Every structure is written in C-alpha cells, then in structure tokens.
Structure 1
Amino acid sequence: MTKRFNRVLLTCAVFMATLPLGACGEKQQDQTDDAPLDRPVLVSHPRIAAQSQPREFAATIRPRVESDLGFRVAGKVVKRFVQTGQKVKDGEPLAALDENDLKLQKEQAEAELSAAKMAMAQTQGDEKRALALRKNGWTTDATLDRIKAAAQEARGRQQRAERALEMARNSLDYATLRADGDGVVTQTLVEPGQVVAAGQTAIRLAHSGELEAAVALPEDFAPRADKGAATLTLWANKAKTYQAKLRELSPSADPATRTFAARYSILDPDPAVSLGMSATLSIAAPGAERIMSVPLSALYNQGDGPAVWKVGADGRLKLTPVKLVRYDSDTALVSGGLTARDQIVVLGVHKLEAGRKVRVITKG
C-alpha cells in the first residue's frame, strides 16, 4: 500500500513539473503568431483623365494654299502636260493654248509700232525745220503750232504702239499655263480641244508646305472651336496623335448643311500625313478639369464617403478620401488627394487597415 502511494505521488510530481514548461511553450508560440507580417497588396497608378468627353469630327487633310489656275486669255486648249496627282515645280508648264491668233496679234502690233516710229521720225524733222524757219521769221506761228501738234500726236501714237506690242507679247506668253509654285496637281478641269474663257479654272494645284485639317463644325459648337485643345488622328494610323490649332473659321454657315467650315493647322506633321487622307479631329471641352481614373475595385467606403488605400513612401497604408465625379464601364473618375505617381491598392481593399505595412505587387 505504501509503495502504491509513493508511485502516485511521483507521477503527480512529474506532471506538475512538466506543466509550466508546456504553458510557456504555448505562450511563446502564440506571441510568434501574433507578430504582424508584411501583407502583399496589388497596386497601380491613377491615370489622368478629362472630366468632359471631347467632341469628335470627321476631317480631311488639305493644303494650306490651294490655287485654281486658269488661262489669262481665251482660246483652244491644244495640250495638257500634267495629270492629277503629278508633282510640279514653280514655273513648270501645265497646259497650252493654240497660239496662231496670238502670234498674228503680235505681228500686227509690231507693224503698228514700226509705222509709228516712221511717223515720229518725220514729225520730229518737220518740227526742227519749223523752229529754224520761225526763228528767222520765214514762217508763221500758226504753221509752227500745227507742226508741234502733229509731232505730239506722233509721240502718243508711238507710245500706244509700244504698249500694244507689250500686251501682245504678254498674251502670247499667257497661252502657256504655268505653275505658280511647287506642289501637286489635285484636279485637271480641261482637255485638249476644249475652248476656254479667260480666267476659267483649268488646273487645281495644292502648294507644298503646311498641311491642315478641314472640318465642318455644327452651329452649337462653332463659338467654342478655339477654346479647347485639339488633336488629330488619321484613320490609317489611329495609334499616332497630332496636335492641331484653329487657324480659320468661316464667319457664315453653309446654306445647305448649316455648318461652319474650319481649318486646323497640324503643328507636328510627319511624312505619314498626306493630302486627301481622312482623319478624326478631337476637341476637348473648354476648361475641362483634370481628374484621375482609378479601377472600381480600388474604391472603399466606410460610410463617410469614397476613399482609396494609398501606399506611402514607408510602405504603410493610408486611407485617402476622394471625390467621385462619375462611373465608367470599369473605372471611376475621382478628384482630390491623388496624383499620377501615387500607388493605390486595387484588390481586397475591405480587408485592410490604416498603418499596416504591406509588400507592393505592381499591376502589369
């Protein structure tokens, strides 16, 4: 009986000795589990967006200067030297008229000038002789006056003949239509054998140099055409955007379409921009406020308004209130408290707390 009792006491002593050690181990393990670890969070940067959507218009690339060239004299077209789309240099011949009648006019003017010179020479001699005779008293003043008048008339006739010959030479030169600058022929409106009037458009020439976007603006937008920033995108290459600026706005609306014709200069063109190409002109609303676009999953609302979790420079979370502007399909436009350099949490925002140190994973 005594031995059994001693064995029980020994067992109890061993149990009591091991109990504090187990408790200490459990407490140490609990303390290790409670230590906060850096939590991984997925972040991205806010994007700058416009509060108001820009207006878009269909545009056509046109030259700054486009000339409608025509003959300065009437006649029959005998030859056209260029085709539509052909590049030409300044002074290069474009078309020609029949010169037969113009050459005859020139020959007639030359004959008139020759006769005027002969008459002028004769009247000058008569005037000199009459002056000598009047000085010696061998003629009357009336005779001298008549001779002077004839000489003056001969001088006027010679001047008229000289001007007529000059005009005849110019008319003969006008029979050849020449380019008034370097450029590209955009339209030919005459054919050989056609009789044209003086000033009738024969060739349309687009001058080399600055290119523009021609667009028709509606009546409600025309007064604000120069208020917002304008950009241009070619239909052939929508990935490239060009800056544009309003150069010209028609003061009156088109009677058929009730739109105002406008020309926007392309500020940074490249060889990809060619005449006749189609483009889209985007004009931002005047005074549009710059705001930030964030994913919808980044918004967090505790009942005090929308906010986002922002990761600070020390890697800790900070709840930043924002003002909601509007919702888009998968983003929200907000203002206040954010910049494009900030890192905001985009997933699991309802499981975070302020001041928690996190490990940043950037959204690709």
Structure 2
Amino acid sequence: MFMPFEIGRHRSFFATVALLSTLSMALAGCSEEKADTSDVVRPVKVVEIAAADNVRQLSYSGSVRARTEMNLGFRVSGKIVERAVNVGDRVKVGDLLARVDATDYELAVRSASANLDAAERQVETVKLVRDRAEQLLARKFASQAQFDQSVLSYNQAIATRDAAKSALSQAKNQVTYTSLVADRPGIVTTINADVGQVVGSGTPVASVAVEGEKEVQIAVPETEIASFKAGLGVKVGLWADAGLSLDGTVREVAGSADQQSRTFSVRVSLPNNPRVLLGMTASVEASAGNGASFVSVPLSALAEKDGYPIVWVVDRGTELVRSRPVTLADFTGDGVRVTDGLAVGDLVVAAGTQFMTDDLKVTISNDATHQSAAAGETSIVR
C-alpha cells in the first residue's frame, strides 16, 4: 500500500516527463523548420550591368534662318517717299524696296553740270592763250616765261574740268542712291522704316534673307560649349515636320558669350531641302562625352546595410547572393546612378531585396525579367 507522499512523488515525476517530452518535440520541430528554411531557393528578378556608355545627348532648340541676312539702308540721307515691298515679299536683283526724296540731289546734279560746262569753257579759253603764246615764242615776240605761264594756266584749267566731272558723277550717284534696291535675291523679313520717316545714311530700312543655304542658330550654355566645334555633325529635326530628320554641321561657334544670357551662339548649317522654311522651329541634337562613367540600376535594387547603400549581386556559378557596397551619383526619374561598386556583367537583384541575406540560394527563373542596366544617358534639353 502506497503512502500519500509516495503518490505525490509519482505524480510529480510523470508531469516532469510529459513536460520534457513536449519541449523535445517543440525543439525538434524548430530544428526541422530551420533545416527547411535553409533549403529554400528563391526566384529573383535581376538586371545585368552592361558596358558603360560615356556618351550623353544634348538637345537645343532654335529657329531656321538664312545664312546671309542683309540689313539694307540708303547710302544718302532723306525723307522716305515710297516703300515698294512688304514683309514676306520675294525680291530679285534690282527690285525697288524704297525711295527717298531726290529733289535736293537732282539740284546738286544740275549745279555740278553747270560747273563742268564752265570748266570746259575755261579750258578752251586758256588753250587759245597757250597756242598764241607758243606762236609768239616761235617768232621771238614772246618770252619763254610768258609761254610757261600759259601752259601752267592751261594745266590748271584741265584739272578744274576733271574735278567738275568727278563732282557731276558723284552728284548723279547721289541721285541713284535715293532708290534702295535689292542686290541679291531673297525674302523681305523686316521693315524698319516707312513712308514719311527721315532716315540717315546707313540706317537699316529693310532686312532681306538671301536665298540659298539655311542654318539654325542655337544658344549653348558655357558648361556645354566645349562640346561644340566647327565641323561637328549633328541631327536636326523640325517641330512642324516630325518625319524630317536632317544631317547638320556646326559652321560657327561664337568666341564670346552674350552679355545678357551668358550663352554662346552656335550656327548649324542645313542641307538644301524645300521642306525647310525660314522661321521654322528646329531641334538640334549632338552627342557629348561624360566626364565620368555611370551605370543605372532600378531604385528597387538599392538596399542599406550598416548605414551604407548596397546592392545584392548574384554569383552566376553558385547562384548565391552577396551584398556589395556601391557609391551613388544621383537619382534619376527611373532609378539611381552608380559610379563605383559594379562591373560589366554583374547580375543585380532588382526586386525583393528585403528578403535577401548573404549566401542565400536563388534561382533566375525563365519567368524572371532580365533587364540591361547600361550607363546613364543624360539628355539635356534647352
């Protein structure tokens, strides 16, 4: 017969055994779970780092203009009495553009003509004197000094006559200059003066864009002007004709910046094309080298470890992932640019980085999207 204290002892023993059994089963379950976790192979989406492209695209807008544009003005002063053209008119060589009052210049022609007639009469008079002195000298009725004086007077009369001829020609030219005519074919682009206005010689009255070669003028900031040299090939497109792409050539680069905008004027020559019209808006695209090499990766590929940016790189042979610190340049609209830490051919985990640990086994399934992260191409638009 068991005593009461013995029954209590047996009950305590059985409880302890049951507890130990429960703990053993729990520990076994945990060990089994841990073993199962280590065997998990996660499919991942990766991007492959492609060769760095050190070329960036520069894009600027400008307007089509004639290579030569003449600002025409009168060579004499006067009051404009006629304007024969309007903006947009096509003109040929010799076409009248405008005319100033020629009354005073015509009077000057009459005065110069009268002076010439007087000089001609003077020449005739002194010629008679010279001839008479020559005859008297031959007969010994006149001295050599008298003859020399007559010759001198005759030469002076000849010079006066020649001066009068030049004055008359000049006066006639002044009358001609009262008519402003086109000396090259083109299109009138600007009218700067109108009938009734008094203009001085050389004051621009009309601008004519000379027919022939066209060009695009763009303004380039000083940070990019080193990329533009005479002879550089560029691509030119027209906003009004999206299907037209032209091969342009940089013709001229300004030697100094504009005082107001601090930009440099660059002129791009265009091939002859009837679809290109003056005044059209054009875009000029050029390629320039980057100062440093960048590769772009999706923002989702970026992680952090110990306060530093990292990415998870998949080893192609073992298919294990390892963290790798990277140096960031800046963020773009669709990712981040990396300057150091990645090499060509690296496979970078692009999604699910929060589940990654060092030496985690992964698989790149056929369903995973393979992307190519190339160098960041910078597009600068002006």
Same fold per superposition (TM over 0.5):
yes
Moved more, 140-149 or 240-249: 140-149
2:318 maps to 1:303: no
Tell me the equivalent position of 1:115: 118
2:201 is aligned to: 198
Say if 1:240 and 1:329 are closer, same or farther in 2 by CA, change over 3 A. Answer: farther
Q: CA contact under 8 A between 2:54 and 2:289: conserved in structure 1?
A: no
Indicate conservation of the 8 Å contact 1:242/1:269, yes or no: no
Equivalence for 1:279: 282
| TM-score in terms of structure 2 length | 0.63
- The CA deviation string for residues 120-163 of structure 1, in whole angstroms up to 9 with x for no partner, is 11111111111111121101222212211210110001000100
Q: Look up the SS of the partner of 2:246 in the other structure.
A: strand
| Aligned counterpart, 1:254 | 258
Could you tell me which of 57, 60, 63 is aligned with 1:57?
Answer: 60
Query: What's the CA shift for 1:112?
Result: 0.7
Query: Which residue in 1 is equivalent to 2:48?
Result: none
Q: 1:336 to 1:229 in 2, by over 3 A?
A: farther
Alignment correspondent of 1:297: none
Q: Distance in 1 between matches of 2:96 and 2:252?
A: 32
* Matched residue type, 2:88: G
* Runs of 4+ more than 6 Å apart: none
What is the identity, as a one-letter code, of the residue corresponding to 2:287?
A
Question: How far did residue 170 of structure 1 move?
Answer: 0.7
Partner of 1:261: helix, strand, or coil? strand
Change (3 A) 1:336 1:127: farther
Alignment of 1:23-62 (within 5 A): 51-62=54-65
**Distance change >3 Å, CA 84–CA 50, structure 1 → 2:** farther
User: Partner of 1:167 in structure 2?
Assistant: 170
Alpha-carbon deviation of 1:271? 1.8
d(CA) in 1 for partners of 2:233, 2:68: 24
CA distance in 2 between counterparts of 1:216 and 1:181 reads: 29
State whether structure 2 residue 217 is matched by structure 1 residue 214. Answer: yes
Amino acid at match of 1:192: V
Question: Equivalents in 2 of 1:212, 1:93: separation in Å?
Answer: 27
Q: Percent same amino acid at aligned positions?
A: 31
- 8 Å CA contact 2:185–2:210 kept in 1: the answer is yes
For residues 202-230 of structure 1, the C-alpha deviation after alignment (integer angstroms, 9 at most, x for no partner) is 11010000000001111121122128641
- Once residues 289 and 246 of structure 2 are traced to their aligned partners in structure 1, the CA distance between those partners, rounded to angstroms, is 19
Measure, in 2, the Cα distance between the counterparts of 1:107 and 1:350: 102
Contact between 2:188 and 2:206, CA under 8 Å: does it hold in 1?
yes
Kept in 2: contact 1:75–1:195 (CA 8 A):
yes
Q: Distance in 2 between matches of 1:246 and 1:61?
A: 14
Distance across 2 between alignment mates of 1:71 and 1:60: 29
Q: Partners of 1:200 and 1:173 in 2: how far apart? A: 17
In the other structure, the counterpart of 2:97 is 94
Matched, 1:350 2:354: no
The amino acid that maps onto 1:167 is Q
Other-structure match for 1:103: 106
1:308-339 superposed Cα distances (whole Å, 9 cap, x missing partner): xxxxxxxxxxxxxxxxxxx9969xxxx999xx
Q: CA deviation at 1:252?
A: 1.1
Q: What is the aligned counterpart of 1:240 among 235, 240, 244?
A: 244
Gaps of 5+ in 1: 1-48, 289-300, 306-326, 338-348, 353-364
- In 1, Cα distance between equivalents of 2:315 and 2:251: 51
**Residue 189 of structure 2 corresponds to residue 186 of structure 1:** yes
Conservation of the 8 A alpha-carbon contact between 1:182 and 1:207? yes
Q: What amino acid is the match of 2:234?
A: A
Do the aligned residues in 1 keep the contact of 2:248 with 2:269 (CA within 8 Å)?
A: yes
Q: Judge which range, 92-101 or 49-58, deviates more.
A: 49-58
Alpha-carbon separation, structure 1, partners of 2:238 and 2:125? 75
In 1, Cα distance between equivalents of 2:333 and 2:246: 26
TM-score by length of 1: 0.66
Cα drift, residue 269 of structure 1: 4.0
Query: Residues 336 and 130 (structure 1 numbering): CA distance in 2 closer, same or farther, change over 3 Å?
Result: farther
Which residue identity lines up with residue 257 of structure 2 in the other structure?
Answer: A
Q: How many Å separate the matches in 1 of 2:290 and 2:153?
A: 80
Match of 2:55, SS state, is coil
C-alpha contact 1:64 1:210 (8 A) present in aligned 2: yes
- From the superposition, tell whether residues 52 and 235 of structure 1 become closer, same or farther in structure 2 (CA, over 3 Å): same
CA distance in 2, matches of 1:188, 1:252: 29
Q: 1:91 to 1:120 in 2, by over 3 A?
A: same
Contact 1:232 1:243 in 2 (8 A): yes
Residue 155 of structure 1 pairs with residue 158 of structure 2: yes
Q: Distance in 2 between matches of 1:153 and 1:270?
A: 63
The code of the aligned residue for 1:82 comes to: V
The C-alpha deviation readout for 1:185-217, integer Å capped at 9, x for no partner, is: 000111111111011111101000000000111
